[in-house]
Amino acid sequence: MSLLEQERDIWEGTQYHNNQHMMRIILNTRVWEEAIQAYQEIQDNHLTTKITEIHKLELTLIMDQQKTHHI
């Protein structure tokens, strides 16, 4: 094997290694993006639940006030 062939093999091996490394980074990034999106959806749902609970409390207070005023 000539020196040029050895250099080419080393370069191709390095390129393959770099490509594999980049694929891992891309996959990890996608996993993190999906995890962050899922977390945000959970937070949004939690916020919606809290807002719904607050609205229920407000309605209860309004109804209680109406009962008090009618008596």
Contacts of 1 (CB under 8 A, 6+ apart): 9
Looking from the CA of 67 toward its CB, the CA atoms found within 13 Å total: 6
Quote the pLDDT of residue 71: 53
SS3 state at 47 = helix
State which amino acid sits at residue 44.
D
Q: Work out how many domains the chain is built from and give that number.
A: 1
| Residue numbers of the domain that contains 30 | 3-69
Quote the pLDDT of residue 67: 83
Which stretches of the chain score pLDDT less than 70?
A: 70-71
pTM, two decimal places: 0.52
